[in-house]
Amino acid sequence: MAAARHAPVTAPAAPPALALIELLFFAYRDFVGDADEVLQRYGFGRAHHRVLHFVNRNPGMTVAELLAVLKITKQSLGRVLRDLVEQGFIDARAGTRDRRQRLLHVTERGRGLARELMALQAARIERALAETGPEGAEIATAFLRAMVEPGDRPLVARLVGLDGVAAGG
Amino acid sequence: MAAARHAPVTAPAAPPALALIELLFFAYRDFVGDADEVLQRYGFGRAHHRVLHFVNRNPGMTVAELLAVLKITKQSLGRVLRDLVEQGFIDARAGTRDRRQRLLHVTERGRGLARELMALQAARIERALAETGPEGAEIATAFLRAMVEPGDRPLVARLVGLDGVAAGG
DNA sequence: GCATTATGTCAACATGACTGACGTAATTGT
DNA sequence: ACAATTACGTCAGTCATGTTGACATAATGC
């Protein structure tokens, strides 16, 4: 068990950036782990979770948009999206304006699962915010937004709904 | 291309927890992506990065401690650790107090690579902190610490070096 | 009509995770 | 001293999720 002997050797007073490198790892590890048990009930993995989440939050999303968000290849996406459609969690309708597009929507079943998973992760975040203090939410949001690659920030802002967007096409 | 049409449908005014769910995904996605290009030069993946990082920051760490930190199986760790040892990035010496243990240390070469990777990630974090404001570092650190599973916080605190630890065995 | 676009799909492969089983050496407890 | 436990390694098989490259189809736009 005892590992305290090597703590001070290289990290006598870690600058904030070094601490944050490791805290991001631990926080994300536990954050995504929250969903695992629920996902396993349906034979899904974390990739399914990500797809379901973004489709739930952005109904009418196209496959191309999902690829830009997840930054994976269409083959990787294809597999998990097929699983979700076949098992009735996501519904893909041909676009009306452009019939090549598949506009993705969650079904009632999909919405239920997405909500259950969101609730788990939101609970962890809310507990953490309560421990952090009153400005925690605003500053944590600002920090994480600033961590995103600048070129992706417009897309992220739109998806997350933090800009003052009022309407669309 | 145009996706604005579906932004306001489900996220009219997202509560902070929902925004943070997505921001954690985007921030972590870009954060870990920083290292990929460098790792590819050595034929390493993200698993190698995590091992190298924690061994560099905690010299003398044992295999069991590394398993507790990464929360993976010893078989998974075994592969990447073997790669790192064979290629001269990590050195494993038998423990003196308990000779069954393998005390892990980075070599000079390992320290160099670990530093290069840390510098990349620290740069993104420092840029983000500069955009966030003066209390950014403290609050972001507190928030991410609070996101960690309570049972793991003592271990995390020791590894990250944020507690007032003064000495060890 | 023809180039481009949006999407799907097949094949092959890499990485990194998993379980289960077994082996060995060293330590600990009685 | 001997047995149980511990720390670690390893073999074998599997799974989830990512990759590249190539090709097919249908719809769009000029």
C1’ D16 / CA A50, Å:
14
How far is Cα A138 from Cα A127, in angstroms, rounded to an integer? 15
pLDDT band per the 50, 70, 90 thresholds, residue A3: very low
pLDDT above 80: residue B1: no
pLDDT band per the 50, 70, 90 thresholds, residue A163: low
pLDDT band per the 50, 70, 90 thresholds, residue A152: very high
C1’ C8 / CA A102, Å:
11
pLDDT above 90: residue B132: yes
What is the 8-class DSSP label of residue A165? -
C1’ C23 / CA B75, Å:
15
- Bridge partners (DSSP) of residue A102 are A94
Q: Summarize pLDDT for B76-102 with one digit per residue, the tens.
A: 999 999 999 999 999 999 988 999 999
pLDDT above 90: residue B169: no
Chain C nucleotides near the protein (CB, 7 A): 5-12, 15-21, 25-28
pLDDT above 90: residue B166: no
Strand C reaches within 7 A of the A63 CB: yes
Q: Which of B64, B66, B65, B61 is nearest to B48 (CA)?
A: B66
Q: What is the gyration radius of the CA atoms in chain A, in angstroms?
A: 19
Q: Summarize pLDDT for B97-123 with one digit per residue, the tens.
A: 999 999 999 999 999 999 999 999 999
pLDDT above 60: residue B136: yes
Positions 93-122 in A, CB within 7 angstroms of strand C: 98, 100-102
- Which one of B24, B127, B161 has the shortest CB-CB distance to A31? B24
pLDDT above 70: residue A169: no
Locate the chain B residue with the closest alpha carbon to A29: B148
Mean pLDDT across chain A, nearest whole number?
89
Residue A138 burial by CB count (10 A; 0-12/13-18/19+): exposed, middle or buried? Answer: middle
Which residue's entry shows tokens 């994300």?
Answer: A28
| pTM attached to this predicted model | 0.88
Q: Which of A32, A87, A153, A22 is nearest to B57 (CA)?
A: A22
By C-alpha to C1' distance, D27 is nearest to A100
pLDDT band per the 50, 70, 90 thresholds, residue B167: very low
| Cβ-based contacts with strand D at under 7 Å | A 43-48, 70-73, 75-76, 79-80, 97-100; B 62-64, 74-75, 78, 81-82, 92, 98, 100-102
**pLDDT at position B163:** 67
pLDDT above 90: residue A18: yes
pLDDT above 70: residue A165: no
- pLDDT over 90 for what percent of chain B? 82
Q: What is the gyration radius of the CA atoms in chain B, in angstroms?
A: 19
- Which one of B28, B133, B139 has the shortest CB-CB distance to A24? B28
Compute the nearest-CA separation of A44 from chain B (Å). 18
Strand C reaches within 7 A of the B141 CB: no
